[in-house]
Amino acid sequence: MRSGIKPDEAMIEEYKAIKINRTEKVWILDINNSKLEVVFKGDKNFDFKNLPDQLPSNQPRFVIYDFDYETDEVPPRKSSKLIFIFWCPLTAGAQKRFTYSSSLTEIVSTLGAIQKQFQVDDYSQIEYNEIRRQLLK
């Protein structure tokens, strides 16, 4: 079942500009009153290790992150992927978890250009080396 919650046209247009120009490193999205909202934006200097500090311990969020890393090639090659993280802690209420889960596919498909998706429920899963390892597969 889908919730019907998706990005509005203004958000889609801003997202398109950001993914082309890479002016922002992170967007954190929340659903309020059946509407998708950007609740945090981090500029290109935002450090991934600070991401858990921006996520509530008992509320789901969607995160779009421009993840920079180096490959295991010799010599290493710099790479970047636009990733989507569905943060859904086990302490979030059942209704919130359902709303976010049922909105996930529509949001990702509407925004497009997401290169890898992650679903995490614990801060320990939002760790640079673990995400990098998954991207190298």
20: pLDDT strictly greater than 90: no
Say which residue the tokens 């929340």 belong to: 30
- Compute the CA torsion angle 9, 3, 97, 32 (nearest 10 deg): 40
Give mean pLDDT, residues 10-39: 90
pLDDT tier at 1, thresholds 50, 70, 90:
low
Q: Tell me: the pLDDT tens digits for 108-127?
A: 999 988 999 999 999 999 99
Q: Tell me: the pLDDT tens digits for 42-97?
A: 999 999 999 999 999 999 999 999 999 999 999 999 999 999 999 999 999 999 99
Q: Which CATH homologous superfamily contains domain 9-136?
A: Severin (3.40.20.10)
Find the helix or strand (DSSP H, E) in which 106 lies: helix 94-111
C-alpha separations of 17 from 1, 5, 62, 91 in Å:
31, 22, 19, 35
